[in-house]
Amino acid sequence: MHKRQIVTVMGLAFFVACSTLLLSANAADKTETVSKEAGKSAEKIAPQKRIQFEQDKAKAHMQELEERMFRLSKLIQESQPEDAARLLLGLRKAREQLILDRMGEASKMLDNLKLDQANKEQKEILVLLEELKKLLLTADIGLELKLEQLRKLINSRETLNKLLKKEELQLSSTLDQQKKEGNKEELKALETSEQRNQKSAENLEQQLREFGAGSKGICNSLAGAGKCMGGACKSLGASKPKPASKNQKKAIEQLSKAQLETKKLEDQLRSEVEALVRQRVMDQLQDMITQQKQIRDVTTKLQDRVAQKQKQALAAVRRLSVSEEKIIGLCMEAIELCELTQFSLVLPIALGAVQEQMEFVNEGLLHSKADKEMINDQRQIEKDLQALLDAMIEASRPSNKQGGGQCKGCKGNRNKLLAEVKMLRWMQYSVHQRTERLDQQIDKKQISETALQERINLLTTRQREIDTITARLHSMTCPDCLTGGE
């Protein structure tokens, strides 16, 4: 089967599942209105049953989609490994996010006439389906696979850190027993705990084997740790804490080695994807700017009609919140990518500040607000996003001895540092502006006590983040970077 055919089949399967669910979600809105007006008579419950039937159809389509992804991945594993990996990644995502189970839960909510809950659940499922669609149809599956590997590697390192702490606790307890000439019951409990640690090391080794040659050293270290833990188990079972503690020390050494090797592989993966992720985030920023401008244009056109309380205009403004939520979703994706790949210290925090403003705008749109203040807030979001995009473009400029931008001391890219500082300056200016605006609202008594405290808390959090990041940037910067020497 050719690549185009595979993508078409998966796209169609997704479309059927998604469109059916969307129909169900829209019908749920209608049923809620009918239910409120009609009470609980058997005759009036009939629409709810029809909606539940549509929900069950959506679940069946989703189950078929998962089965197709699995079967196709097996069929094309040798001839088209990239597409096979795409399908398996999609399947894994769908199962991790429990999409099928959540569809079943939505059906139960409909059966119990919990329409508000069902509607909310359906909307959340639609978001997950949209993410799955992007994954299945993305052109750059290589990047997606590496990002997924990076996520797994981070989770594995966190599991490894916990295992190391547990083994250190085991050693401490064993040494205590050694001093006391411990009793058999306590040593038996330690043996059981050691067996759990050994099992965890073996499971972690199996998980990391999928990284291939790159994880060979990590797997060898984990295998060595597991072997030492096995030796400790035997000694503890024989009531011999002294040789057990020696094995535990060796296990800790092996786990520490695996920890360092895992971090090294993690950094290597980040380095491989940095340029691609940076470009994707820049594209997302541009998309957010474009979409925010479109929302502002529509808001501006509706301003006068909203002021006149025209029902159609008020409804049109409320519908704009759907578009604003999509921008918020893009912003959250960009933040997740930044935090995952760690190519910038400042950008995820800066985007978080912009997201807060988007959420305030979204709340206003939901309440049909389309006045001058709303339009100014939307325009400010555009300016903020553009400022961050400009800083990223500057950070993307290559550094070399001939072209400039390379620090003569640490040989690092000073363009990146300058971009970080610019974003940090923008953040401080943004906090300053928002503080001034809050002062004006207080003077004019335009804000409630609850809203005032909420804004103060947000501004306090942002200021602390700026202080923390400034200190981190300073600690990571060499004297030549600070003086501007090239």
Q: Which of 265, 288, 316 is the last residue of a domain?
A: 265
- Residue 26 resides in a domain: no
Claim to verify: residue 248 and residue 274 sit in the same structural domain? no
- Residue 356 resides in a domain: yes
CATH for 212: 1.20.120
- Residues 6+ away with beta carbon under 8 Å from 322: none
- Residue 2 resides in a domain: no
- Residues 6+ away with beta carbon under 8 Å from 194: 170, 229, 232, 233, 236, 244, 248
SS3 405: strand
How much is the mean pLDDT over the chain? 82
The sign of the CA dihedral 354, 360, 366, 367 is negative
Q: Is 5 exposed, middle or buried (0-12, 13-18, 19+ CB in 10 A)?
A: exposed
* Residue 372, domain extent: 270-397+411-429+456-483
How far apart are the C-alpha atoms of 266 and 163, rounded to whole Å?
18
Claim to verify: residue 103 and residue 225 sit in the same structural domain? no
- Residue 42 resides in a domain: no
- Residues 6+ away with beta carbon under 8 Å from 249: 171
317 touches 299 (CB < 8 A): yes
Q: Is 180 exposed, middle or buried (0-12, 13-18, 19+ CB in 10 A)?
A: exposed
How far apart are the C-alpha atoms of 130 and 14, rounded to whole Å?
9
What is the phi/psi pair of residue 478, to 5°? -85, 165
Claim to verify: residue 323 and residue 463 sit in the same structural domain? yes
Count of C-beta atoms within a 10 Å radius of residue 42? 6
Claim to verify: residue 165 and residue 238 sit in the same structural domain? yes
- Residue 24 resides in a domain: no
Say how many domains are in the chain.
3
Claim to verify: residue 204 and residue 78 sit in the same structural domain? no
pLDDT in tens, 334-346: 999 999 998 888 9
- Residue 402 resides in a domain: no
- Residues 6+ away with beta carbon under 8 Å from 182: 176, 239, 241
Between residues 349 and 400, the one the model is more confident about = 349
- Residue 445 resides in a domain: no
- Residue 254 resides in a domain: yes
How far apart are the C-alpha atoms of 393 and 415, rounded to whole Å?
10
Claim to verify: residue 219 and residue 129 sit in the same structural domain? no
| 27-31, 154-158, 236-240, 302-306: least confidently modelled range | 27-31
pLDDT score, position 139 = 63
Claim to verify: residue 477 and residue 353 sit in the same structural domain? yes
Helices (H), 342-478: 347-366, 372-395, 414-443, 449-475
| 118-122, 179-183, 338-342: least confidently modelled range | 179-183
The two structure tokens encoding residue 354: 């912009």
Q: Is the pLDDT of residue 18 over 70?
A: no
pLDDT in tens, 211-223: 888 889 999 999 9
Q: Is the pLDDT of residue 33 over 60?
A: no
The two structure tokens encoding residue 385: 């996003």
424 touches 344 (CB < 8 A): no
**What whole-number percentage of the chain has pLDDT above 90?**
38
Claim to verify: residue 389 and residue 421 sit in the same structural domain? yes
Q: Is the pLDDT of residue 410 over 60?
A: no
Residue 249: alpha-carbon gap to chain centroid: 37
Claim to verify: residue 225 and residue 112 sit in the same structural domain? no
Claim to verify: residue 254 and residue 274 sit in the same structural domain? no
User: CA nearest 353: which of 423, 277, 283?
Assistant: 423
Residue with tokens 């078929």: 64
Claim to verify: residue 368 and residue 461 sit in the same structural domain? yes
Q: Which of 211, 232, 265 is the last residue of a domain?
A: 265
How far apart are the C-alpha atoms of 466 and 426, rounded to whole Å?
10
Q: Is the pLDDT of residue 182 over 70?
A: no
The 8-class DSSP code of residue 400 comes to B
Q: Which of 265, 283, 313 is the last residue of a domain?
A: 265
Claim to verify: residue 328 and residue 474 sit in the same structural domain? yes
